[in-house]
Structure 1
Amino acid sequence: MKRFQLRIYSIKLLFGLVTFFFVSVSLAQVTYEIEPGLSFKETDLRNVKKEVQQMERYFDIPFNDLHIMVTNNCFRTGYSYKEKTIQFCDQVSTIFAGLQSLDVIRHELFHAFICQEYPFLCTSEIMKKANVKAIHEALADWYTSLFDRTPHFGEHFYTDKKFVRSYQNDYCFDLVIGEHLKGNSILSGLLAKNFSFLAILNSIKSEKQFMDLIELSKKKSCLGHTEFEFIPEQIKKSKLNRYRLNRNEELHFELPFYGLENLRLKYHYPKEIISVRTSGDKVIVKGLQKGISKVSVQLFDSGRLIGIQSLYFRVR
């Protein structure tokens, strides 16, 4: 009878261990998918799988419910916090859908990691707030830089660029636009001040501590430079810097930082649709022919690139 009971207990123990094993596997799950019709094979995901394992070892935390797919039915490579999915987009502008760029792979995996471990930073509500995405971008680049022996992020990603951006620069947070440029400014400030990545990450216990990273990162050289705007004279300012004008019509804008000798502006734009010139304290944009044109404006302080702004024009 005792021998029979011992067998029962042994079976129960074995069943419990098997159950625990399968539960553990189901909790630490990363699934992979290649969209039908694409020429990619399972072996083409080896870099992604390797980086998944590296991140799990680094943080000693397994991924839970992450889906990774290669597709051409997407706008760009990125992580969706709502769907818990990383999409590698097979586009003409990217090399091998980005699967050969270890920097980009690590960057997107970190987005997935922080949303898993810090879910309060990835709600729909917080994502709508100004500059939140910029901090996410900064932290994802920071993690990537830990394993990168070069000063550049995103080699082997774009077909027409050697890399996507540099980890360190002179950008002033308030003088650049977009989550990636602002995130780049945050990261370069934190790196310049020699903060520890893990110390900063472990210090984030609330939304406020997360948002405080912006002020923590700001450079002394940027103090006093708070706005980089082009204010039109004849019409109301567009929040998105998008304007319409007719052929041969001119729009006049106030020249930012007029009178400051150490600051210079450079304009980059295709010359066929519009012309751009300065006259005193004005920037004058003239429509030349029908079409859409983007003007990229760079702001230099004593030769250092500290700001970037963009204006968009539709000529009718």
Structure 2
Amino acid sequence: MSTTTPLIAVTMGDGAGIGPEVTVGALLDDATVARCRPIVVGDAERLREAAEILDRRARIAAIESIADAVFEPGRINVIDLALLPTELPWGAVSAAAGEAAYQYVRVASELAMRGDVQAICTAPLNKAALHAAGHIYPGHTELLARLTSTEEVSMMLSTRMVKVIHVTTHIGLVDAVAKIEPGLVERTVRRGHGAIRASGVAQPRIGVCGINPHAGENGLFGYGEEEDKITPAIEKLCTDGIRAHGPLPADTAFFLAGNGEYDLIVAMYHDQGHGPVKMLGIEAGVNVTVGLPTIRTSVDHGTAFDIAGSGVADAGSMIEAMRQATELSTDI
């Protein structure tokens, strides 16, 4: 392994879900370990269990600090927090697992903020378990914003075919419409514009979705939300030279993006953006948190309690998340 490839902190996610399995699967992938130096923050014993379930030969090495890591084929370095109880059931909500998942993210964020690692890549946590442990966050995005003292961040889903950034995420649809306003739309587009430029696109083409069907169709649907909440932001962005187009009907926007006409789509709410990406296959999608002082990528799937511990979890999204974390950290 190269000693110049990026150091990536990999959080194991909820220990009762598929996080340990996809972490092991990704870190035994030859292409992954050729492009970066991963350090897992998690529980070494649970990763050993996952390797056995997957029937994969791996040396799970518990370390205390990054300086103790040795990078060689078949070895997985783990900053072992040893927080999970023995014989933790697979596939069940556990406050202990929720607490452990929180601590993995906390330690990884501290490593990133100190500059000890160049990026964070996260396996999925379970919101119910996180809440049962007393950590009331909708998910990784909001948790990492708090841990890094970042006022506002955006969720971007990234696939090879389309990239989507969200104006609102984990809130109800009625609340999302109320929250959308020109300033938030403008800031979201600017964050997405910066992220796409960082990936190597000099002049990103950005399609901005409307809120209502047919983007309101000139006032036929809705109550003028597009004109009041979105159009002023687009006008200001265009004045500043950002190639933002819209508001567009969401179905049209994603069709055009699939044909290569847009580098980024701006979704107004969670399902507007997630639905088209999930149709491409969750193994293809990666969640990127835009606006943090560090790079963070994640799988675009949950803890999958229904298959946890069975050895059938697909590590494809985790491998892709590691790839994008590496590429983004190399660009900075």
Instruction: Give the alignment's TM-score, normalised by structure 1.
Output: 0.29
* Structure (1 or 2) with the greater helix fraction: 2
RCO higher in structure (CA 8 A, sep ≥6): 2
* Structure (1 or 2) with the greater strand fraction: 1
